Amino acid sequence: MKKATGITCVFLDIGGVLLTDGWDHLARRRAAKNFKLERAEMESRHQLMFEIFEEGKITLEEYLSLVVFHQKRSFTRNQFRSYMFAQSKPFPEMIELVTKLKLDLRLKIAIVSNEARELNAYRIDKFGLDRLVDCFISSCFVHIRKPDADIFRMALDIAQISSVRLKSDHSL
């Protein structure tokens, strides 16, 4: 690959780009079925908590207490947590493409994602994303979620991309 002119950084999401979505409605539906939970109740409780969960304002344990373990269950927190984490699967072709962009074109790779802290840490470690990515602007670290414009401004600042240059280049 040849060096890209003018492009110095690629901003990506984790869920739906490098990996499957972490804890989306489909994963929650599978969990409700697997653990024989009332899906509508679980989803309703999730909707009340997901923003502060993804913003890192409550822990996974607090989230699970409020969404799943508000009553006695026939399974353990560890079983549920393991199932939750196991929903993450890689997209090998995308990981390979981003690796080529980084190595061959020497581009910075920045992640901008909405993910809860424990799930984010698991996914980064499990799939070696820290070896591929230069910086993570995750909602759980910065306490702002997409689509809030502040998370994108923060991503530009952290990646050291000049917003003045971006505006003049019409790159955004």
Query: pLDDT tens digits for 53-78?
Result: 999 999 999 999 999 999 999 999 99
Model pLDDT, residue 86? 97
Report DSSP state, residue 3: P
Contact yes or no for 67/44 (Cβ under 8 A): no
User: Over the stretch 118-142, which tens digit does the pLDDT of each residue have?
Assistant: 999 999 999 999 999 999 999 999 9
Q: What percent of the chain has pLDDT over 70?
A: 91
| Contact of 22 with 87, CB cutoff 8 Å | yes
- Written as six digits, the tokens of 132 are 């591929």
CATH of 25-86, one of 1.10.10.10, 1.10.3470.10, 1.10.150.240, 3.30.1330.30: 1.10.150.240
Q: Which of the listed CATH numbers 3.40.50.1000, 3.50.50.60, 3.40.350.10, 3.40.50.10320 matches domain 9-20+90-169?
A: 3.40.50.1000
Distances (CA, A) of 110 to 4, 22, 32, 87: 17, 18, 33, 23
Give 11's pLDDT tier (boundaries 50, 70, 90).
very high
Query: Quick one: pLDDT band at residue 161, thresholds 50, 70, 90?
Result: confident
Report how far residue 101's alpha carbon sits from residue 165's, in angstroms, rounded to the nearest whole number: 22
Whole-prediction pTM: 0.86
Mean pLDDT of 24-50: 97
In the chain, residues under CATH classification 1.10.150.240 are: 25-86
Determine the pLDDT at residue 6.
82
